[in-house]
Amino acid sequence: MIWRVRERAALDRISRSGRRVQRGPLWARLLPDPDEQPPRVAFAISRRHGGAVQRNRLRRRLRAALWIADPPLPPGSYLVGARPDADQLSSGELTVAVTALIEAVRAQVPA
């Protein structure tokens, strides 16, 4: 299960203090927090991805890929974004990219 980050202050805190990781066409800023269960995620999809329909479609696809990802995101708050070429990925390729991003995030989170 993944919750959404909705508060502006939380987004500012992630953007300002979060560590950044990037794998393939995806990137994330993370603030690890063992008490933040389930993880909270916000998405940064810029207008370079196209109109609102294309941006929302990519956001939904990313949310679904994060939801089914194995292993899941560790506890914490995340801001997830994508380069413009990410919307051209198939569902399988997007799932692989999300899995690689999660592995990079797990490498940054202290055990």
Delimit the domains of the chain by residue range: 3-108
Is the pLDDT at 20 greater than 90? The verdict is yes
Provide the residue count of the chain.
111
pTM, to two decimals: 0.90
Q: Cα(49)–Cα(21) distance, rounded to whole angstroms?
A: 20
Q: Is the confidence at residue 110, as pLDDT, over 80?
A: no
Tell me: the pLDDT tens digits for 22-67? 999 999 999 998 888 899 999 999 999 889 999 999 999 999 999 9
Q: Which CATH architecture has domain 3-108?
A: 2-Layer Sandwich (3.30)
Tell me 35's DSSP state: T
The whole-number pLDDT of residue 111 equals 64
Spatial strand order in the sheet of 3-4: 3-4, 40-44, 76-82, 26-32, 19-23
pLDDT per residue as tens digits for the range 63-92: 999 999 888 999 999 999 999 899 899 999
